[in-house]
Structure 1
Amino acid sequence: MFDTPKSKSNDLETIARSGGAFRRMAARVPTYLTDVRENPAWLPMFLLARTMPFRKAHWLTAKPVRSTDDATPSMFGNLQAEAIATELRRTGIFAGLTLPAPIREEIARFGRETPCFGNFERKVEFLADEHADAERRFGRTILSGHHFERVLQCDAALAVQRDPLLLNVARHYLGGQATLITTRTWWSFPTKSASEADLSRASFKFHFDLDDWRMLKFFFYLTDVDADAGPHVYVRGSHNRRRVKHQLTLLVGHPADEVLGFYGEDSAITMIGNAGTGFVEDPFGFHMGTLAKQSPRLMMEVGFGVSKPSNRRYHGEPVVR
């Protein structure tokens, strides 16, 4: 599935990519400083949650799940939260969620009819169907389009984030203090003009998330996703063990050959499915989005964590100077 570079020239490319990664990290310093001012507890999380000893220690603070008699039906049928949590502990990912057609269609319509913001920039605003025109108009490559807080205007999206199964799974996996922290929808667009710099700024390399000490993310495809539509890839088992090298660096993104060389190529699972396909994963495990080659991908995410969420900005949005 992935080519493994072995030449010295590729080693030099890796060094070059690392330099670019450090420049990107430096550009994020204003965002990091704002995060610390808003929530001083963010800094120790950011520095220590990448290490397995501190993560395991934090898991010991998980509160027991309270028994509940809530009989509210789930749109996902009779799936058992405890069984899903057990599979998550084993592999880090569970596939088998399907959005009801009316819910999927309403969110997809919202995604088409609501302007999105390209590459996380609020000045780059356009409708998904106008992507090619937007690239010409703004004179830049546009790989993604996020709706940010506008997703809260979509009743179907709110129905998904409030579904009792999602919270029950989160609490059985993360502990009783699990709470909703993020809901987002975004487009991934195919483009013919993407440079290496564009790709390196996106999530097209294996990485892990450090938004909280413990997290769980539900993903739903709102368009059909095949191998050419930017499918999500997850490395099974990488959520509960970590190469020492990957614990002692501030970088969260790493080349595919380096990741799969340690965890095994057969550990990577590519999520392909029709519109409505859903899955849930522990995002501390290595994962990535692949480049949409032929058709755009619309996706929804509902995330749970154990810390106070930021009310200042939305997923991936930098601090605006």
Structure 2
Amino acid sequence: MTLSSPDKSGAASLEAIARNGGTLRRIAARIPTYLSDLRENPAWLPMFMLARTMPARRLHWRGAKPVRPARNVGETMFAGVDRDAVVGALRTEGLYSGLMLPAAIHEEIARFAERTPCFGNFDRRLEFLPEKHADAEKHFGRPLLSGHYFERVLDCNAAVAVQRDPLLLDIAAHYLGSQAKLITTRVWWSFPTGGVSDADKNMASLGKYHFDLDDWRMLKFFFYLVPVDNDTGPHVYVRGSHNRRILKHQLTLLVGHSAEEVLGVYGEQSPVTLTGQAGLGFVEDPFGFHMGTVPTRTPRLMMEVGFGVSPPSRRRFHGEPVIR
């Protein structure tokens, strides 16, 4: 038997088959979550179908109600932050970096995360202590790329203080409109590990540019709770990608796209890789393309506080996917 390399057309066909197969698997994995969202809130479906298109988004943004000028902001832990500068950067770039958690706050959240069991790969059946990550992988017989705390984060007073900080809501209200409300609070680990499937990476929003479709209008604040360098899985954001979208990326049901596709539209210089010390915070419009990279050396511990304009899920903790 003689083995030969396929010609270019054959190679392209095989690549297309593999790509389409991966697409179908990603869609299939999300179906239980989609059905649960639809059953709870029928208004989810038009949002999911239309919020990816620029005409529908612009129409919805026209419904943003202005914040009353007399709005008073209470005492904040983020000293020296100019709200108008943050909102201005979000409107033009989709990203603002320069928030900093007080040391006492991010250290308390990190201690909580170190001593509290988390759930691997979003699955509540895969519970382990972060320091036992390697043992947990052996026990469960699978790579554990992430460890989430879900509602357990509300047992951490410092985390609750961050989500309730009045400056975060004030920024969200001036960007999203006065309808802005808290819809997500998360603390989670991303672990270096081997043999990770594309499905696990997609579930953890790692390794591929994507945009979020959790609501018509959203804003997400992120905080590093450990130092993050290029080996710790830094977050990457494509500046300006929240304001425009090619037709192909509006009409597909998938929110994830290759770096080649994304950077071909927005330019090789558009991504910002965010590294920094523990406590570093940044805020982004998550309709812009972004991704978390996979840690290669040390685990990343991160917090997210998200705002939107629609009610959050009542069944699951802040968008927790349905795992079957």
Normalising to structure 2: TM-score of the pair? 0.93
CA distance, structure 2, for counterparts of residue 8 and residue 176 of structure 1: 55
| Paired AA for residue 300 in structure 1 | M
* Post-superposition offset of 1:17: 3.4
- Over aligned residues, Cα RMSD in angstroms? 1.9
How much has 1:315 moved relative to structure 2?
4.3
Alignment partner of 1:134 is 2:136: yes
Question: Which of 77, 80, 97 lines up with 1:78 in the alignment?
Answer: 80
Matched, 1:306 2:312: no
Shift of 1:30: 2.5
Does residue 253 of structure 2 align to residue 253 of structure 1? Answer: no
Percent sequence identity over matched residues? 68
Which of 287, 294, 299 does residue 297 from structure 2 map onto? 294
Deviating beyond 6 angstroms after TM superposition, the runs of 4 or more aligned structure 1 residues are: none
**Match status 1:233 vs 2:236:** yes
The change in CA–CA distance for 1:8 and 1:53 in structure 2 (over 3 A counts) is farther
Deviation at 1:39, TM superposition (A): 0.8
1:198 Cα deviation after fit = 3.8
* Alpha-carbon distance change, 256 to 71 in structure 1, aligned in 2, over 3 angstroms: closer
SS in 1 for 2:219: strand
Q: Give the Cα separation in 1 of the matches to 2:16 and 2:237.
A: 22
Structure 1 residue runs of 5 or longer lacking an equivalent are: 1-5
Give 1:3's aligned residue: none
Amino acid at match of 2:273: T
Structure 2 distance, partners of 1:292, 1:24, is: 22
TM-fit CA distance, 1:11: 8.1
Deviation at 1:82, TM superposition (A): 1.9
* In the alignment, structure 1 residue 212 sits paired with structure 2 residue 198: no
Deviation at 1:10, TM superposition (A): 7.9
Change (3 A) 1:13 1:68: farther
Task: Count the aligned residue pairs.
Answer: 316
Q: Distance in 1 between matches of 2:293 and 2:16?
A: 19
> Which stretch shifts more, 247-256 or 194-203?
194-203
Task: Answer yes or no: is 1:33 the counterpart of 2:31.
Answer: no
Q: Which runs of 5+ in 2 are unaligned?
A: 1-7
Q: 1:113 to 1:275 in 2, by over 3 A?
A: same
Return the match for 1:115 from 94, 113, 117: 117
Counterpart of 1:220, as a letter, is F
What SS does structure 2 have at the residue aligned with 1:67? coil
Q: Following the alignment from structure 1 to structure 2, what is the Cα–Cα distance between the partners of residues 194 and 318?
A: 18
Would the alpha carbon gap of residues 37 and 98 (structure 1) be closer, same or farther in structure 2, given more than 3 Å must change? same
Alignment map for 1:178-197 (pairs within 5 Å): 178-197=180-199
d(CA) in 2 for partners of 1:212 and 1:300? 19
Distance 1:10 1:148, change over 3 A: farther
Conserved 8 A contact 2:149-2:187: yes
C-alpha offsets along residues 11-53 of structure 1, whole Å, 9 cap, x if unaligned? 8546523421222212322221221121111000000000000
Q: Residues 20 and 77 from structure 1, CA distance in 2 versus in 1: closer, same or farther, beyond 3 angstroms? A: same
1:143–1:173 Cα change, 3 Å: same
Is 1:283 the equivalent of 2:269? no
Instruction: Indicate the SS of the match to 2:282.
Output: strand
Name the residue aligned to 2:4. Answer: none
| CA–CA separation in structure 1 for the residues paired with 2:127 and 2:227 | 24
- Report the Cα distance in structure 2 between the residues aligned to 1:293 and 1:284, rounded to whole angstroms: 27
Q: How does 1:167-182 map to 2 (within 5 A)?
A: 167-182=169-184
Q: Does 1:93 align with 2:131?
A: no
Q: What is the CA distance between 1:316 and its match in structure 2? A: 5.0
* SS of structure 1 residue aligned to 2:269: helix
| Secondary structure of the structure 1 residue equivalent to 2:316 | coil
The alpha carbon displacement at 1:283 in A equals 0.2
When the two structures are superposed, what TM-score results if normalisation uses the length of structure 1? Answer: 0.94
Change in CA separation of 1:273 and 1:142 when aligned onto 2, cut-off 3 Å: same
